[in-house]
Structures are given as C-alpha cells and as structure tokens.
Amino acid sequence: MCGIIGYVGSEEAAPLLLQSLKRLEYRGYDSAGIAIIRDGRLVRFRRAGKVRDLEDCVRSEETRSTIGIGHTRWATHGAPTDGNAHPHLDCSARLAVVHNGILENYLELRSRLADDGHTFASETDTEVLAHLIEERYRGDLLLAVRQAIAECSGAFAVAVLSEDTPDRIVVAKRGSPLVVALGETGAFVSSDVPALLGKASDVQFLLDDELAEIRSDRFRIVNLDGVEVERPAHRVSIDPVSIQKGGYKHFMLKEICEQPRSTGETIREKQAADGADLLIPSVEGMAACDAVYLVACGTAYHAALVAEYLWEEHLPIPLRAVIASEFRSRRIHVTPKTLVVAISQSGETIDTLMAVRRARESGARVLSLVNAERSAIDRESDAAVYTRAGIEIGVAATKTFTAQIAALGLVGLALAQERGTVPREAVREELRRLTLLPGRITEALRLEPTILELAERLHHARDVLFLARGVLFPIALEGALKLKEISYVHAEGYPAGEMKHGPIALIDEGTPVIMLVSHDVAREKTLSNMEEVKARRGCVVAVTDTPDDPTIRRLADHVLAVPTSSGISLPILFSIPLQLLAYHIAVCRGTDVDQPRNLAKTVTVE
C-alpha cells in the first residue's frame, strides 16, 4: 500500500506534492510526509495522521522549492508515528527516500549496516534503503540506487532525493506500481495516474527492476544493468469530475448513486452494435477449458462467488471461486486446460497478482477482470475484460462490485455460448433484461430515505446478521463486509439454511437480521428461515422483490422493496439497499466513511 509522489519543475513543489498526496490517500492514510530541497538543503516534514495534518504542519514553514518527494503511509513495519513516517533519511540527512512495499531482507541489511556504523532512527524497513544508497553513493545517484536495490528482496516502488543532486529524483520499482510523466511545468513520478490529473497526460508505467532518473524537462529509464529502455508513452484521460465529490457528503454515496451509469457502461461495451450479441475478449483455449477458478480478494471475491452461481446455470464444468491468498498457498490442481479468472478493481492487489503468476506458471490461461486498465494484473493476464465503473475513491467498493457482477455475468454467457451450452435466445433475453437494469437501479436508489430512517434505528446494534440463499448468499456476505468495514459493527453473512448450524445463537431480542428474499431464489425455504428468526425475537429486515407476500408482511419488522428481476440483474439490485444501509449506519455512528480505520483501498502487501 502507501502512495508516493515526486516532482521536479518550475512550480512550487510543496503545495503540488500535498495536493497529489490527497489523491493518493486511498492507498493509506495513517501518516504522511514530504522532503524538498530548499536553498540547497534537504528539508523534511512528516506527521502521523492524514495529509491534512501534514498540511497544517507545513503551512507555517518556508517551503520555497521546485523539487520534492512525498508519501502517504499504511503502516507495515513500525507503528504509525511521526518517527516512522516517510521520507526516511540517511546518516548525513542529505538523502531522503519514500517507499511503497516491503523489503523482505531488511533485518539482515539493517544489522549489516548497523555493524558498519549506520544509525537508525525508525522501526521501518524503508530506512535501510536510505543507508544502503548512502553506502553505495560515489557521486552517481542513479548508480547508487541501482546497486542498492540489487541487494534488496521484496516489493518496492521508491523515490530518492539528494541534496548532492538537487536537479533530479531517482526512482525504482519491483512489484509495487510506479508511473513517470512529463507535464507542462515539469516531470512527475507517482504511484498511480489519477494523482497526476491536470498535471501530465502522457505517462510511462515502469516495469519491474526498472529505474528512472527524472529531471524537470526529461526522464530516462534504465534497467538493472544500466541499459537505457525506450518505450512509447501512454496517453491517459481522466474525467476531473470523477475525483470530486460533486455535492455528495462522501465519495461512497456518490459512487453508490453512480451505479446506473457504471453498470450501464460496463454492459454496453460488451454488447455488439445490434445489442443482441456479446463482444467479450477471449483467451486462446478458453472454450476448451475443463475447469474454471475465479480468484479475487474481499469484495471482488464476493463478485467471484456470484459468478460461480450465475455461470453454473449454463456451464457444466467444475467452477470454483477461491480467495486469491488461499489459491496461492494451496495445492489446487491447475493445468494448461484450466481457466483462471482474476478479478480486481485496482488490478494491483498483490495476492491476486501472485495467484495470476502461480496460475500462469502452471500453464493455465488467465483472463482478468479489472477496473484499472494497464494495471499489473491486466498486463500479466492473457486477456482482459474491463469494468467501466470509473475511478472509485471510497475505500469501500460499491460501484465496482456491481460492475464486476455485470461483466462476469456476460463473460460466463460468452463462455457458455462458445461451448454451445446456452441457447442464443437465452443470451438475447439476458441482454434485453440488462438494458432495463440502469433504470431499475435508479428505482432501488429511491429507497434511500427509508434506509436512512432504518439506519437511525439500527445503528446501535452490536451484531447484525445477513442471510440469503443461492446467488443472493454472496450478496449477504458483501452486505456484512460493507457494514463491518465502514461502521465497525460486527456483521456476518450466512446462507440462510446454515443459520441453524450455529449463527442462530447470535440472535437475541432485537438483533437485526437482514434477510434477502427473491421470488426467484428458494423463496419458500428462505421464508421458513424468517419464521425461525422471528421465533427468536430477532428484528427482521426483509430486502425483497415480493414485498406484498403475506408471510413477509406478517414476519418482517421492516421491508425494503427492490424492483423485480432475474438473471444477472437480480444480485445487482439486491446489493443497492445493503450498500445504502451500511453507508447510513456508518454516518449515524460518525465513522470516517471514505477512509475507515486500518484499511487502504489497494492492498499491495501480502
């Protein structure tokens, strides 16, 4: 995790670095810092807390400088204190380093450097790098960084600033992402593209074991052997509106409300011009695969589980959603006839990336489904399908989840079509239904005032259960995850039929139990489970497309009616009220909705 930024040019560096760090805060937000060169001397400012705390500390200082590096941190080694905040310095305090990733051999390096007389001021792995570069430095910073990283193992994206070379920044990457770019006022390095919005539009994505030396009017990229690398730049265009709250109190609410558009665009792109056929990139050998693993983490894993249910309708082959970190460590049988589908909003999640590598090493074909084009998972897959959700800034994934379900649903149909296991008319019928989905999501969003009132009643709850069957079970899991991550309320999602095997013990008088009941998914059995909850005096919240059902009217304390649908639309429509409920409960509890404690949006450490 962590975000890094660097700038050298004609603008004042400190305000620019701080503004960019705010855009990178989704990567971590427990401490932040910058280093600049002012009147020929390296000066560092750093602070535990958010970038706005750092801004307060920088405001009162003299920061005239046109070169600097910055960092926003998600702590791995060492608590989030002022002293562990980046940048870290060498012994002479003439050189500063910011780092994203983990240096796995830092203990060994630290002890060797300490024996050689270096003194350490923090508990971080990063500081080792500052001393290692100091040790290697003989007047050529690029060479010193190159030699230093050759001794490091693990993942890193680093930016180095030295008062001995005050006209340049040296950067290097292995594992963690890094882009360099030239803009009108200077050159930049950043962990991602959105931080450069309005500053530069032609970017270069560094590859592993590449370094770059960045000056105000140029940069040059070299590999670990010092050989220069030439590659055409990528033009990126980002809608500036996507990184503003646009009148909403939180990004999360804005993103929830954007779902008619984000799912609509995701679906439209995968339909042929006549609207009746699918346009999905294919991986060689995909149609002949004999097993499919869907690998992902967190919310994306829940989308993978939804896909498992949707795909098994038409694909008579073994299908399995697996949490990416488990996929790596288990002895799951993967062969050249296995298709691995890697799902990730960021395309950077290290566990998912490692699962992709493990799959490819075993000869499997990998299809990725990402929101961030040209991300590592995208680049390392055999083919990619994109969700067109736009940038998601709230740490809690919302619009990217529903876009993943939409895209995965269509990928499953395309695969079944290639294998001849789904009738063409069924595909057309699904596509017809999906054209109605944006309107139906808009209808579901109208539940917000009712959900706000419900949240006001429920927000003191200690435990909340989410129960559902079939394709709605992963939606229950996702509802529980959303509530946990932004409101810090204990929540669990269970298959409704599993409740009596344990979780029913959690139900006490008034315990909120959110039950998802659809006309299309084991309705009768779910209603029996509702009876069981009511018999234990739980507070039943029915999320349903059959609100007039007499059993629901008799048993439910609260009813949230979603539009009736089936197929791919069904799990998407049931997600909307659960997102709104988590959001409003979190707001009632006064948590930091967009940046909940301990989390980071992109998890780039294992």
Beta strand 463-468 pairing with 490-495: parallel
Within 470-499, which residues bind ligand AGP (CB under 6 A)?
Answer: 485
Could you say whether residue 582 binds ligand AGP (CB under 6 A)?
no
The CA-to-CA distance between both ends of the chain, in Å, stands at 10
Closest contact distance (angstroms) between CB of 395 and ligand AGP is 5
Per-residue x/- track, 544-563, ligand AGP (CB under 6 A): --------------------
Contact letters (x/-) for ligand AGP, 2-21, by CB under 6 A?
--------------------
Residue of 2, 152, 257, 297 marked catalytic: 2
- Minimum distance between the CB of residue 606 and ligand AGP, rounded to whole angstroms? 12
Give the nearer residue to ligand AGP in terms of CB position, either 66 or 346: 346
Query: Exactly one of 204, 299, 387, 546 binds ligand AGP (CB under 6 A); which one?
Result: 299
Q: Which of 351, 393, 386, 350 is nearest to 371 (CA)?
A: 386
Whole-number minimum distance, CB 53 to ligand AGP, in Å?
23
Match 């803009």 to its residue by tokens: 183
Given candidates 397, 513, 578, 605, which one binds ligand AGP under the rule CB under 6 A? Answer: 397
Instruction: Give the footprint of ligand AGP on residues 334-353 (CB under 6 A).
Output: 344-346, 349, 352
Looking at the Cβ atoms of 176 and 551, the one nearer to ligand AGP is: 176
Binders of ligand AGP among residues 367 to 396 (CB under 6 A) are 395-396
Residues 304 and 295: their CA atoms lie apart, in Å, by 7
* Both structure tokens of 185: 């006022």
Q: How many positions of this chain bind ligand AGP (CB under 6 A)? A: 16
Tell the burial category of 222 from Cβ atoms under 10 Å away from its Cβ (0-12, 13-18, 19+). Answer: middle
* 68 forms part of the interface with ligand AGP (CB under 6 A): no
Q: Considering only 173-181, 205-213, 488-496, 598-606, which stretch makes contact with ligand AGP by CB under 6 A?
A: 598-606
Asked whether position 603 contacts ligand AGP by CB under 6 A, the answer is yes
Our CB check for ligand AGP shows the closer of 354 and 540 to be 354
Residue 298 is a binding residue for ligand AGP (CB under 6 A)? yes
Return the residues of window 427-466 that contact ligand AGP according to CB under 6 A: none
DSSP string, 280-336: ----TTSTT-SEEEEEE-HHHHHHHHHHHHHHTTT--S-EEEEEHHHHHHS-----T
Instruction: List own/partner pairs for 350-353 with CB under 8 A and 24 or more apart.
Output: 350/155, 350/175, 350/603, 350/604, 350/605, 350/606, 351/297, 351/323, 351/324, 351/325, 351/603, 351/606, 352/295, 352/296, 352/297, 352/300, 352/324, 352/377, 353/377, 353/380
Do the strands 95-103 and 154-162 form a parallel or antiparallel pair, or are they unpaired?
antiparallel
Give 545's DSSP letter.
S
String of b and e for 265-299 (b: at least 16 CB within 10 Å)?
bbbeebbeeeeeebebebbeebeebebbbbbbbbb
Residue 575 lies near ligand AGP (rule: CB under 6 A) = no
Distance in Å, CB of 490 to ligand AGP, minimum: 17
297 part of the active site: no
> CB of 603: closest distance to ligand AGP in angstroms?
5
20: which residues sit within 8 A by CB, 6+ positions away? 5, 7, 70, 190, 195, 196, 199
The answer to whether 2 is a known catalytic residue is: yes
Query: From the candidates 254, 270, 534, 601, which is the catalytic residue?
Result: 601
CB closer to ligand AGP, 486 vs 527:
486
Q: Which residues are catalytic?
A: 2, 601
Which residues in this chain contact ligand AGP in the complex, by CB under 6 A?
297-300, 344-346, 349, 352, 395-397, 485, 599, 602-603
